[in-house]
Amino acid sequence: GPNSSETAGNSSVEVPSQDIVSADQEIAAQLAKEKKIQTAPSVKNLEKYTDVMTLANSLLGTPYVYGGNSVNGFDCSGFVSYVYSTAGFSITRKSSLDYFMNDTTIVANPVPGDAVFFKNTYISTISHMGVYIGDNQFIHAGSNGVEISNLSYDYWDTRFVAFKRFNVVK
């Protein structure tokens, strides 16, 4: 089932420790610059979030394709871009790192539909993202395709960085 797959397929990659320290400093500096969002999105945008999650769930099992951003195959940021754009948000296709640094803001209390970011999956900095669906779970395009994973699983827990909201979501 979609909850059974808990690996990203990249767990054997060794990231040099000096790269991790540098990346961690860059990530911390970015988060320190952001004013944490304290409120939920508007009712209109929460309705769009429902559409994001419905669409995301309809894509479970879609294969992983590096650089993919269509129903033929997705990578993580291509998946997020596709579901948000299709739900009516103006999201340009970018990398997870670019979204983290330029297009999102950290949230105090994530709601289903907010983005979730990870580091050290295959490079030392922000390198994976997905859509938070509640109950400590997220949906994403992992190496096994579009799947649901649990944030408390050790692989994700040790790489979790932040819940963030796209700046176009008010």
Report the C-alpha gap between 109 and 11 in whole angstroms. 29
Tell me the three state secondary structure of residue 163.
Answer: strand
Q: Is 76 a catalytic residue?
A: yes
Q: Which of 76, 97, 131, 148 is catalytic?
A: 76
Please identify which of the residues 128, 159, 164, 165 carries the catalytic annotation. Answer: 128
What are 140's two structure tokens? Answer: 């994403």
Rounded to 10 deg, the angle between the 43-58 and 76-86 helix axes is 130
- Cα separations (Å) of 50 from 6, 35, 92, 121, 144? 24, 25, 20, 28, 24
Both tokens assigned to 7 = 């690996």
Give the residue numbers marked as catalytic: 76, 128, 140
